Amino acid sequence: MTERLFHLIEKYPLNLVSHLFSLLPIALGLALLNCLSTSYKVVLLLFALYFISDTYSLWLVMARVSTYPIQNLQPLFEIGIITAVYLNSFRKNETGKWIKLAAILSAFIIVFSYRQSTISTVGLTTQRLFETITVLLYFNKILIEARVKNILFHSMFWLSSGLLIYSAGTFFFSLFSSYLYSDTISNEEFDPFWRLNQILYIIFCLMSSVGIWVCRYEIDNLS
């Protein structure tokens, strides 16, 4: 099993890099925990989910066991965490109710489209669509309220921007995942799409970490 691990690292080094990058916002968040908002503390759970999921998936791959079940269930937990993150920002806003309803509807779609032995295109696409729409609603909110003095020192701006890049950037990967994961496509054809997915995730981790770093200026940055 150890030999297989080193073989996978040698063949897919970017997988290891993206895996370890999940720890960056977690470590930085724990170091600056006292100045993090409630929403951003929940974000740490999101990256913990990513790290645990990737670790377990790696173990399954080494054991030559299918990772489809965990890939198809992960969107359900992601939507739950993302909803918790953004609902705190929409507490006094009618939009919060629509986000709750969209989250419940998305959860039902993911559950009913779940597949044990193949990738669930519907579930993955639903998750990406939900995340993209939620982020755009948040951007609309801060533009209307105009309470943020300097957007570069607004923690949620960095998280939302990173999430938008990741969710929108991987939307078509999710939409065509049934084809990309099928036997009709070779590893050489699949790998560029997977590398792009990993690069976008690393960008998401970096931008979320910047959001944690600027949390120290958050109080003075709101009018």
Question: Which DSSP string do the residues of 55-79 spell out, in sequence order?
Answer: HHHHHHHHTT---HHHHHHHHHHHH
Three-class SS state of 154? coil
Tell me: pLDDT of 5 over 90.
no
pLDDT-derived band at 15, boundaries 50, 70, 90:
confident
Tell me: pLDDT of 1 over 80.
no
Pull the structure tokens for residue 145: 């309220």
Contacts of residue 81, defined as CB under 8 A and 6 or more positions apart, other chains included, come to 42, 43, 45, 46, 49
Tell me: pLDDT of 9 over 90.
no
Instruction: Give the pTM.
Output: 0.92
pLDDT-derived band at 186, boundaries 50, 70, 90:
confident
Buried-exposed string 147-156: b where 16+ CB fall within 10 A, e elsewhere: ebeeeebbbb
How many separate domains does the chain show?
Answer: 1
Residue numbers of the domain that contains 93: 2-221
Could you tell me which of 112, 23, 118, 20 has the C-alpha nearest to residue 71? Answer: 118
In the chain, % of residues over pLDDT 70: 96
- pLDDT (0 to 100) of residue 58: 85
Reported as a single tens digit per residue, the pLDDT across 127-179 is 999 999 999 999 999 998 888 888 999 999 999 999 999 999 999 999 999 88
CATH of the domain at 124: 1.20.1070
Residues in the chain, overall count: 223
Reported as a single tens digit per residue, the pLDDT across 84-117 is 999 888 877 788 899 999 999 999 999 999 988 8
Taking each helix axis from N to C end, the angle separating 13-21 and 23-31, rounded to the nearest 10 degrees, works out to 20
pLDDT-derived band at 6, boundaries 50, 70, 90:
low
- pLDDT (0 to 100) of residue 160: 96
Three-class SS state of 88? coil
Could you tell me which of 153, 151, 148, 165 has the C-alpha nearest to residue 205? Answer: 165
